[in-house]
Amino acid sequence: MDALIAEVRNNGGNTDWKAAQWAIKCPQRCASPRVSLLALPFGKKRARRQAHRNTLINLALQILREAAQRSSQEPVGTLEVRLALHVLRPFVGDQRLLVAFWEAATIEPRHPWTSCHLPYRLIAQFLIEQDASLDDENRP
């Protein structure tokens, strides 16, 4: 909207929306003095990017959550878990949280008290503190 107002002011016009239609000149030097203006929200691209970000985070957390549930019975250091941790790298500021999950996922020998539940909860809690929108099933 600021760019539109600046353009209208540069053309010597009024910043009123109806007046802006008469003040804006066609960039292709059209014969018609009036230009049709369509208001587009500049936040649409940002909203789409935020939705993609939230989808990535939630899919990665779903993989980690399912791995954490299995982690007390079997090692879960799989390719899927590595990929999920890699996807979360840009969103988790403290990489030690991701390393702790991976170490818990690959520790040998496995014991019933050896699981990835605590590292998962710490990662999810960190993302919540960073205002990430987590699905209910991914919340700790």
Helix, strand, coil share (%) of the chain residues, nearest 5: 60, 0, 40
pLDDT at 95: 92
* CB 31, CB 74: distance < 8 Å: no
Cβ-based neighbour number of residue 57 at 10 Å: 24
Residue 51 tokens read as 């939705």
Short-list 116, 34, 26, CA closest to 72? 116
The answer to whether the CB of 102 falls within 8 A of the CB of 82 is: yes
Q: Using one digit for the tens of pLDDT, what is the confidence trace for 52-81?
A: 899 999 999 999 999 999 988 888 999 999
Domain ranges, ordered by start, for the chain: 1-39, 43-138
Q: List pLDDT tens digits, range 129-139.
A: 998 889 999 99
Query: What average pLDDT does the segment 101-109 reach?
Result: 88
Q: What digits encode the pLDDT tens for the residues 32-58?
A: 656 666 665 655 677 778 888 999 999
Q: How far apart are CA 67 and CA 116, in angstroms?
A: 8
**Backbone φ, ψ for residue 87 (5° rounding):** -65, -35
Radius of gyration of the chain (CA): 25
